[in-house]
Structure 1
Amino acid sequence: MNPPLLSLYFDGNCPFCAAEMKRLRHWDTHARLGFIDIADPAFDASEQGLDLHAMNLQLHGRLANGDILVGLDTMLAAYTLAGKLWVVLPLRIKALRPLLSMLYRQFALKRYAFSRLMGYKQVPDCAEDVCRSRHPFLGN
């Protein structure tokens, strides 16, 4: 089996994040994506040459050539590789990128609260106090 073209480092304790990764896995019929849960206690960001705090602030991805993508660039690459470019088409509009990037960073910081507001169920084995202990800087 070939290595993924893009490995996504996501917060598996975040209900919204987990649901989106599940959706991407379903759409990724050519196995171009890899999924790495940074909330897994066995995950060590330093082994990847990355910083866990930074990874919790925005979605990160690693291309097969080793390049790191962050935030909107990661999302654009992931949905494109999964054959769903239309989902992230606004991200390709250069004039919108600064605004969308700012909105994304705010969403990422408050992703647990937004998950609740959007009706996503809590991830099993992730009581809020446990999630907060792993990600204490996340807002409500």
Structure 2
Amino acid sequence: MTTRKYTCDKLVIFYDGNCPLCSLEMQKLKQHDANNQIELVNLHQANFNTLYPDINFNKAMTILHGVYQKKLLLGLNVTHRAWTIVGKGAFVAPLQLPIVKQLAHCFYLLVAKYRHPLSQFIYRRLGIGTNTCELGVCYEKSAKETNNIDHRRQ
């Protein structure tokens, strides 16, 4: 890591704040972070490249990135570390078993690739999560936004 100084005691997670599924998981994670041991960084914040030149935006959009004890963590290793830090490690511990880890990693990459349409599907079918997220704020799009219809009087 070159420019940004990372503290040894915090896990810094770089996530896609425009992804409702990702934002929901980060929200749930922070609810359990009583000791403030996790710092969340939205990849879409305006000054991201300036603040974090050592994190490649395109790679981070492909696979979850995190930094813990000055080491780069990727994918499910970030997820495992995060939930372990907040005391919920038992739920993700199976992800570290040899055979499960390989299968889970492949599944994770597939989910990560299609996270936006999956978020929409889960929201529409199960009502879980939010409809959309922009700049770290999640909300349900109105019909006007969805149809892009201008209802102003001419």
TM above 0.5: yes
TM-score (norm 1): 0.81
The letter for the 1-side match of 2:78 is T
* 2:41 matches 1:31: no
Q: Distance in 2 between matches of 1:30 and 1:47?
A: 24
Deviations 1:37-82 (A, max 9, x none): 001122117834121111001111001x311000011110000001
Residue 69 of structure 1 corresponds to which residue in structure 2? 73
Whether the 8 Å contact between 2:14 and 2:42 is mirrored in structure 1 is yes
Q: Which runs of 4+ in 1 moved over 3 A?
A: 45-48, 124-127
Taking a change above 3 Å as real, the CA distance of residues 12 and 90 of structure 1, as seen in their structure-2 partners, is same
Q: Distance in 1 between matches of 2:111 and 2:14?
A: 17
Give me the identity figure in percent: 25
Q: Distance in 1 between matches of 2:63 and 2:73?
A: 10
Q: Distance in 2 between matches of 1:86 and 1:12?
A: 26
What is the deviation of 1:92?
2.0
Equivalent residue of 1:7, what SS?
Answer: strand
Residue 132 of structure 2 corresponds to which residue in structure 1? 122
Whether the 8 Å contact between 1:45 and 1:52 is mirrored in structure 2 is no
TM-score (norm 2): 0.74
Q: Which runs of 5+ in 1 are unaligned?
A: 128-140
Q: Distance in 2 between matches of 1:44 and 1:88?
A: 31
Q: Distance in 2 between matches of 1:60 and 1:89?
A: 19
Larger Rg: 2
* 2:49 matches 1:44: yes
Q: Which runs of 5+ in 2 are unaligned?
A: 1-6, 124-128, 142-154
The letter for the 2-side match of 1:88 is V
Residue 10 of structure 2 corresponds to which residue in structure 1? 5
Q: How many residues align?
A: 124
